[in-house]
C-alpha cells in the first residue's frame, strides 16, 4: 500500500490530481487552527487538489493563509453561483481576494441544474462569458460546471454540447447508480467526457441519506457513513471507475477515514452483492427523493 493516494490525469488540464479531492465545505465553520491542522492531513495523504466555493461559509478565508506557503502544492478550484457576467466577475474577484491567490486553476459554475439559470448563465451577458474573459486575462486556467440531483447528468450533457468545459461534477454512489434513468444519463456523460478528455469529479460517495433526526453528529447536510469498513467499501466502489475523481466529505473529523480508504485501495471494486449488503445494512437511501 502506498503512503499517498494515487493520482490521475485531471482531464486535459495537464495536472495529475489525487483521486481524493479535498472538498473544502468541511471548513465552512471551523477555526483557522483547525483548518491549518487539516492542511497537514491533506499533505500526509498526498492530496494535491482543493475544491472550494463561496457557498462554503468561511472556507475560502480559511484556505487563504495556506496559499502563502503552499500554493504550488495544490490545484486550486473554486466556484460561482452567479448567473450574470457582472455577478460572476465580482464573485471571482472576491474569491481570489479571500484565497490570497492571483489566479485559480479551475472556476466552476456552481449547481447549474435549473433550465432558467442555465439560459441566463450561458447567454451573451451570462456568467460563462465573464469566466471566458477571466481565462483570457489569466485569472483562471480552466472552466467547469457542477450540480446535484437526479437531473444533473442530463443537464451536464446539455452544458457539454453548448461549451467545451474542462470538468464536470455530479453525484456518484451506489444509490444513484442503481437508478436506471440516472445510470443511463451518467454513462452518456462519462462517454462524452472520455471522448473529449473532460475531468469528472464525483460527490456524495459516503452519503447514507438525509438526517433522520435533528441530532446531527457531523458537519454535513446529509447523514454520512462513519464506520471505516463501510467507508472503505463506498470509496473503493467509486475509486474503481477509470479516470473519475471523488470529492471528500464536509466534516474534518471524518476526513481522515475517507482519505485512509482511498489510500488503502488495491484496485478491486466491491461487487454488486457487497454493495447491496452495504445498502441494506446501512440503510442507504436517496438524498433527493425518488428518482424518476
pLDDT at position 292, please?
45
Q: Is residue 2 part of a domain?
A: no
Question: Helices 152-162 and 180-196 meet at what angle, rounded to 10?
Answer: 30
List of the chain residues with pLDDT < 50 = 292
- State pLDDT tens for residues 198-219: 999 999 999 999 998 766 789 9
The DSSP call for residue 225 is P
Q: Is residue 292 part of a domain?
A: no
Report how far residue 64's alpha carbon sits from residue 97's, in angstroms, rounded to the nearest whole number: 8
The answer to whether the beta carbons of residues 136 and 159 sit under 8 Å apart is: no
Residue 173 is assigned to a structural domain of this protein: yes
The length of the chain, given as a count of residues: 292
pLDDT score for 291: 55
Residue 147 lies in a domain: yes
CATH number (domain holding residue 157): 3.20.20.100
Summarised one tens digit per residue, pLDDT across range 254-285 is 999 999 999 999 999 999 999 999 999 999 99
pLDDT at 213: 75
Q: Number of folded domains in the chain?
A: 1
Within the chain, strands assigned E span 7-9, 16-18, 20-23, 49-51, 75-80, 104-109, 140-146, 167-171, 199-203, 207-209, 223-224, 244-247
What cell was used for 232?
A: 472503505
Asked if the structure places residue 291 within a domain, the reply is no
Q: Would residue 143 count as lying in a domain? A: yes
Average predicted confidence (pLDDT) for the chain: 96
Angstrom CA distances, 154 to 7, 62, 182, 197, 199, stand at 28, 34, 8, 18, 17
Domain region containing 118: 7-281
Amino acid at each position: 500500500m502506498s503512503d499517498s493516494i494515487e493520482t490521475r490525469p485531471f482531464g486535459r488540464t495537464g495536472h495529475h490530481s489525487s483521486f481524493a479531492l479535498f472538498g473544502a465545505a468541511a471548513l465552512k465553520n471551523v477555526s483557522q487552527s483547525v483548518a491549518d491542522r487539516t492542511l497537514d492531513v491533506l499533505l500526509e495523504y498526498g492530496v494535491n487538489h482543493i475544491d472550494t466555493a463561496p457557498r462554503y461559509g468561511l472556507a475560502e478565508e480559511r484556505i487563504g493563509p495556506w496559499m502563502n506557503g503552499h500554493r504550488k502544492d495544490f490545484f486550486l478550484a473554486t466556484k460561482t453561483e452567479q448567473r450574470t457576467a457582472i455577478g460572476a466577475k465580482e464573485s471571482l474577484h472576491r474569491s481570489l481576494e479571500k484565497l490570497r491567490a492571483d489566479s485559480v486553476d479551475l472556476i466552476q459554475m456552481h449547481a447549474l441544474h435549473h433550465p432558467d439559470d442555465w439560459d441566463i448563465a450561458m447567454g451573451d451577458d451570462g456568467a460563462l462569458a465573464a469566466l471566458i474573459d477571466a481565462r483570457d486575462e489569466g485569472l483562471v486556467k480552466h472552466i467547469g460546471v457542477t450540480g446535484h440531483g437526479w437531473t444533473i447528468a442530463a443537464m451536464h450533457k446539455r452544458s457539454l454540447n453548448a461549451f467545451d468545459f474542462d470538468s464536470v461534477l455530479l453525484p456518484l454512489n451506489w444509490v444513484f447508480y442503481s437508478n436506471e434513468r440516472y445510470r443511463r444519463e451518467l454513462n452518456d456523460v462519462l462517454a462524452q467526457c472520455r471522448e473529449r478528455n473532460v475531468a469528472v469529479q464525483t460527490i456524495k460517495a459516503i452519503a447514507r441519506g438525509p438526517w433522520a433526526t435533528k441530532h446531527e453528529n457531523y458537519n454535513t447536510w446529509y447523514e454520512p457513513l462513519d464506520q471505516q469498513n463501510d467507508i472503505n467499501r463506498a470509496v473503493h466502489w467509486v475509486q474503481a471507475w477509470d479516470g473519475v475523481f471523488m470529492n471528500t466529505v464536509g466534516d474534518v473529523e471524518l476526513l481522515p477515514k475517507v482519505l485512509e480508504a482511498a489510500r488503502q485501495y488495491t484496485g478491486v471494486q466491491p461487487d454488486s452483492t457487497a454493495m447491496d449488503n452495504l445498502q441494506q445494512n446501512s440503510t442507504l437511501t436517496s438524498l433527493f427523493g425518488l428518482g424518476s
